[in-house]
Amino acid sequence: MKLTLRVWRQRDADADGGMTTYDVDGISPDMSFLEMLDTLNEELILKGDDPVAFDHDCREGICGACSLVINGEAHGPERTTTCQLHMRSFRDGDTIDVEPWRAAAFPVVRDLVVDRSAFDRIIQSGGYITAPTGAAPEAHATPVPKPDADTAFEHAECIGCGACVAACPNGSAMLFTSAKVNHLNVLPQGAPEREARVLDMVGRMDDEGFGGCTLAGECATACPKGIPLFSITRMNREYVRAARKSRR
């Protein structure tokens, strides 16, 4: 396959960026999108140019490191991560636009790499349970009803990639935050911090400069893990409940 790429290049956080056009040839339809970018970078390095910086790690859709807005869609046209997106989703001769996640809370570090540490700080504010460390507890000591386990698991699938923020017209982190809050709040292990968790994580989310939810639904469409829009509904319910209970 022969493709024309228009890639966002930006030297560093303070520099002005812009789209640069590259032609790539010899792309196999079986390559992943990242392998296609590797091919481009090899050529750039051979020519003595700076390679395009992009985030990646596991390349198997489980770590949440890869990103990229491809032709205006976070993680591209398929419902999967960019590392699991294959070039057969494009046609020979296509022009493909590649941009970084765009949100005030995700500043560009370089080219296609953005700083997603705001997510880490949201997790630090309540995305954990308090449990004594030591030997693993007896697995059957805390029964979890099957529907609750399923709900927790559904939300635990979030890999923290940030596609939801990138796709949201308000740069909102509601889908991510709700996935993390709901995952722990439905479980007995998460019960002791149930109220503080949702209040603190939403508070942190607001402080980081993410926007609010207008229920546009773009986040759930972009999410490679299928976190549903109703996670936000559930977190809204948790939030009001916690605000009521924590009043003293």
Residues that bind ligand FES (CB under 6 A): 56-59, 61-66, 81, 83
| Residue 227 partner contact from ligand SF4, other proteins, ligand HEM, none using kind-dependent CB cut-offs of 5 to 8 Å | ligand SF4
Q: Which of 159, 174, 181, 186 binds ligand SF4 (CB under 6 A)?
A: 159
Q: Pick left, alpha or beta for residue 168 (phi over 0 → left; psi -120 to 50 → alpha; otherwise beta).
A: beta
User: Could you tell me which residues are beta bridge partners of residue 172?
Assistant: 211
Q: Which of 164, 213, 229, 242 binds ligand SF4 (CB under 6 A)?
A: 164
DSSP 3-state of 27 = coil
Interface with ligand HEM (CB under 6 A): 214-215
Cβ atoms within 10 Å of 23's Cβ, excluding its own: 11
Is 146 buried (19+), middle (13-18) or exposed (0-12) by CB count in 10 A? exposed
Residue 76 engages ligand SF4 in binding (rule: CB under 6 A): no
Question: What would you report as the CA-atom Rg of the chain, rounded to the nearest whole angstrom?
Answer: 20
Q: How many residues bind other proteins (CB under 8 A)?
A: 54
Q: Tokens 């809370």 correspond to what residue?
A: 105
Residue 161 engages ligand SF4 in binding (rule: CB under 6 A): yes
Nearest CA to 222 among 155, 175, 190? 175
Using CB under 8 A, list all residues that contact other proteins: 6, 8, 19, 69, 71-73, 97, 99, 102-105, 130, 132, 168-172, 174, 196, 199, 202-203, 205-206, 209-218, 228-230, 232-240, 243-244, 246-248
Using CB under 6 A, list all residues that contact ligand SF4: 158-164, 175-176, 179, 222-225, 227
